[in-house]
Chain A
Amino acid sequence: MLKAAKVIALKDLRIELRSRVVLNQILPFVVVVLIIFAFAFSKYPTLLVTVAPGLYWVATLFSSLLALQRSFSLETENGAKDALILYGLDPAGIYVGKVFAVLVEMVVLEVFLTLGIVLLYSVHLHELVDLAFTGLIGTLGILAVGVTFSAMTSASKAKETILPLLLLPVVAPVLLSGTKAWENEIAGKAGLGDPWVGLLILFAAAFLSLGTLTFGSVLEE
């Protein structure tokens, strides 16, 4: 399984390095989102500091939708998905590889997103390790269920509209817990022992297990 995961992850990351869709298109999108949020709160600029954790997670969620769609649009071209199945790769391996590749892309995006929040919203961040871990585990949760849903919908005609409808309600706990965990960490109130971080870990673990078990059923045509 891990061998298949490595092959898939390296393949996806190599494609990204050559095409730079995430860096050249999704990253600017994240910047635009940050600017648009600032417009929404223009009357009370200080409010941006207060709501920055929530905005971080909303931006992460939106950009992960794009990254996920990109990840599976690669497989719909030229029947690449059928080839993957015909190679006899372990479906669980394909799943883990996809999650890992998108996670790496998202980590890069989130580094820029955090920088944007610090620079544009004047938020002072302490406890960077805690924040980074919370960001990583929350994103992993989003992607764990997101990869399953993207695989289900990538071949359909309504893929752009159905993925957000399926994914957003399911990952609502990540948005809520991630925001609360970041708020507490920024306020210096709680570290990684925060129950909200625990909930994020539980979420990621539950959906990684389910995704690994069911990806075979999702992938079969």
Chain B
Amino acid sequence: MARKSWIALVGAFALVTVGVTYIMGLWITPPDVFQGNLVRLIYVHPAVAWVAYLAYGVTSLASLAYLWKKTRNYKWDLLAASSAEVGVVFTALTLITGSIWGRPTWGVWWTWDARLTTTALLLVLYLGYLALRRVSEDREQRAKRSAVAALIAFIDVPIVHQSVVWWKTLHQSATVFNADLNPKIHGEMAWTLLLGFLSFTVVYVWMVIKRYDIARTQFKLEDQTVERAIKERVGTI
């Protein structure tokens, strides 16, 4: 199958799984004993948070691949940038959905809890990364510098997390991936939760492919512009 059809298929799959998550989350699953309908955010919030972490993981790996001389290729740089951009969108979604849940549950839109603070810092950290990508005009310089910045962010995240975890924390502990791997959620609620993870991951994959294609087209366009300019100059001599 051609590449384009594959991408369309991934897109269609993402749309369908998100649609099913939507229906399951809003209508099929029951409200929670304690949280009532608020629990329905659980089908979205942890899933988008996971995608944000996944996106930054991909950015870090791709940046490492670019910095390592044996695998140095602009493809890695473009992939790192595309994934970081999608990651920023999902981090913002994580904060927004978390706030919507936090207001009725904790009574506040925002609290200085460990995970909230880490996530907010993560957002500004990668906004900085994206801003840095815009200031360098030279392609190689941009790729190298943003790869180093991505590595700095990657090393920083666990330290940021550790430092804010030492504040007393309000956030729930992990529901699915807790230490003894014994999920506290069962039945159709658990399935919907897992479906949420799957559907948003597929959305992420589709968005990164699309963003990567745009980045690659821009890259080629820059090359062509330079070539055309050279031809015009040489032609006039």
Contact = CB atoms under 8 A, between A and B. Distances in A.
Interface residues of A, number: 32
B135 A210 contact: no
Interface stretch (A54-62, A71-79, A118-126, A164-172): A164-172
Contacts of B16: none
A100 interface: no
Nearest to A176: B163
Nearest to B164: A176
Interface stretch (B83-91, B153-161, B176-184): B153-161
Can you list the 10 inter-chain pairs with the closest CB atoms, starting with the nearest? A173-B163, A156-B135, A166-B128, A169-B124, A169-B125, A217-B144, A152-B145, A165-B128, A214-B148, A176-B163
A152 B159 contact: no
A218 B125 contact: no
Interface stretch (A10-18, A20-28, A30-38, A195-203): A195-203
A202 B159 contact: yes
B152 A170 contact: yes
B14 interface: no
Interface in A202-221: 202-203, 206-207, 210, 214, 217-218, 220-221
A149 B135 CA distance: 13
Nearest to A156: B135
A158 B128 CA distance: 12
A183 to B, nearest CB: 13
Interface string A173-187: 100110010000000
Contacts of A156: 135-136
A63 interface: no
30 contacts: A148-B148, A149-B152, A152-B145, A152-B148, A157-B135, A162-B135, A165-B131, A166-B128, A166-B131, A169-B156, A170-B153, A170-B156, A172-B160, A173-B156, A173-B162, A173-B163, A176-B163, A180-B166, A196-B166, A206-B155, A206-B159, A207-B152, A210-B151, A214-B67, A217-B144, A218-B144, A218-B145, A218-B148, A221-B138, A221-B141
Residue from B125, B149, B152, B153 having most chain A Cβ neighbours under 10 A: B152
Contacts of B141: 220-221
B189 interface: no
A145 interface: yes
Interface of B: 67, 121, 124-125, 127-129, 131-132, 135-136, 138, 141, 144-145, 147-149, 151-153, 155-156, 159-160, 162-164, 166
Contact of A153 (B132, B152, B163, B164): B132
Contacts of A176: 163-164
Contacts of A168: 124
Contact of B135 (A153, A207, A214): A153
A206 B162 CA distance: 14
Nearest to A171: B156
Contact of A217 (B67, B135, B156, B164): B67
Nearest to A141: B159
B163 A169 contact: no
Given A162-B135, A214-B151, A217-B148, 14 more contacts: A153-B132, A156-B135, A156-B136, A157-B135, A166-B132, A168-B124, A169-B124, A170-B125, A199-B162, A206-B159, A210-B152, A214-B67, A218-B145, A220-B144
B148 A195 contact: no
Contacts of A210: 151-152, 155
Nearest to B118: A172
